Amino acid sequence: MNKRKYIYIYIGALAAFILSSLFHFAYESFGEPKVAAGLFPISESIWEHMKLPFYSLLFVNLIPWCEFVRRLSVKDRLVLASFQSEIAILVIFFGYYGLKGGFRLEGLPIDLTLLFIGMILGLWISTRLVKERTSGKDAITIPMWAQVYLIIKLITMPVLFYWFSFSKPVFPLFIE
C-alpha cells in the first residue's frame, strides 16, 4: 500500500472521528432546529448515532483534501463514502448489540472505539476497491449493480434519517 492510501486511511479516519464528535453535539448547540434533525443525532438511540459515520465519511470523501481523494471522480467518491458508512454502521450496530447483549458491556469508551474501528475499517477496505492508474483519474472496481445500490442508499438514508427522527418505530434500534 502506498503513502497516499495510508494518509487517506489514518488522517481520514481521524478527521471523520473529529467530525462525528462535533456532529454528536451539533443539534443541541444549534438550538434543536427541525432541519438539523436529519443531519445530527437528536437522541441516544443507535439509529440516531448511525448519522455520525454516514455524514462524516461523506464529508471526508467529498472534500478533495488529499491526493487519494483528488484522483477519484465525484461519483466514485460518493460510492466509496456510501460503502464506508455501510461498513462503519455494521460495526457499530453489531458491535454495540454484541457487546451489550453478550458481555453486558456498554459505555462511552466502547461506543467511541466502535465508531473509530468502523470508520477506519471502512476506509481501509475501500482503498482495496480502487484501481490506480498511471495517468488521469483512478477508478473504483465495484460492480455496477453494487454502485447503483450504494448511490440509492446514499440518497435514501438522509430521507430515512429525517423520517425516523420524528416518527420512531417501536424497535430496539430506535429506543434510547
pTM to 2 decimal places: 0.93
Q: Using 70 as the pLDDT threshold, list the residues of the chain that sit under it.
A: 1
Tell me what pLDDT residue 116 has: 96
Residue 17: closest CA among 47, 60, 48: 60
* Among 15, 38, 14, CA closest to 27: 38
Note the pLDDT tens digit of each residue in 70-115.
999 999 999 999 999 999 999 999 999 899 989 999 999 999 999 9
CA 167 centroid distance within chain: 22
How much is the pLDDT for 133? 85
